Amino acid sequence: MTERIDPDDQLAMDEVLIEDSEAEEALEERLRARLALAPLKRAYKEAHEAAKFAVLRHAGEIADGGSVRIGRFRVSKRLVKGRSVAFETEERTQLSFATLEERSGDEPPEQKVARFRGAPKKAHAIVDADGRATGYQVN
């Protein structure tokens, strides 16, 4: 378990501390949102992979450029040809954010939260009377 670092601890000789409560609260809100989103992203990725695996069994039944219906879903198939991609980027400034507890080599905070705080591992769609998803419930 990672030790808790106090925000007032000096971590490096050349460290500069900016005292800005608005910026600090914005960073805290960003972290809360990221941690809340992690289980939902994980649940969506798992559901997407399961659906893709289930539909791939029928790939031979779908003509290239064609589509079929499975329940209320239209599944289309198209060939995406390989290509060579090259591009240039321009100089820019990039900001990165990390909590004081995050160090290189540590596991991402989403995983720590899921493991130690009992964060939910599954999200279920909330469906209205017409069968449309209106949101997600995390269990």
pLDDT digits (tens, 9 = 90+) for 47-88: 999 999 999 988 889 888 888 989 999 999 988 899 999 999
131 lies in some domain? yes
Range with lowest mean pLDDT among 8-17, 40-49, 108-117: 108-117
53 lies in some domain? yes
Locate 68 and state its tokens: 């079929």
Q: Which domain holds residue 90?
A: 21-138
Hey, is 125 helix, strand or coil? strand
72 lies in some domain? yes
> Do residues 137 and 124 touch, judged by C-beta distance below 8 A?
yes
Q: Per the structure, how many domains does the chain have? A: 1
Annotate 81-118 with b (16+ C-beta within 10 A) or e (fewer): eeeeeeeeeeeeeeeeeeeeebeeeeeebbebbbeeee
Q: Provide the whole-model pTM.
A: 0.51
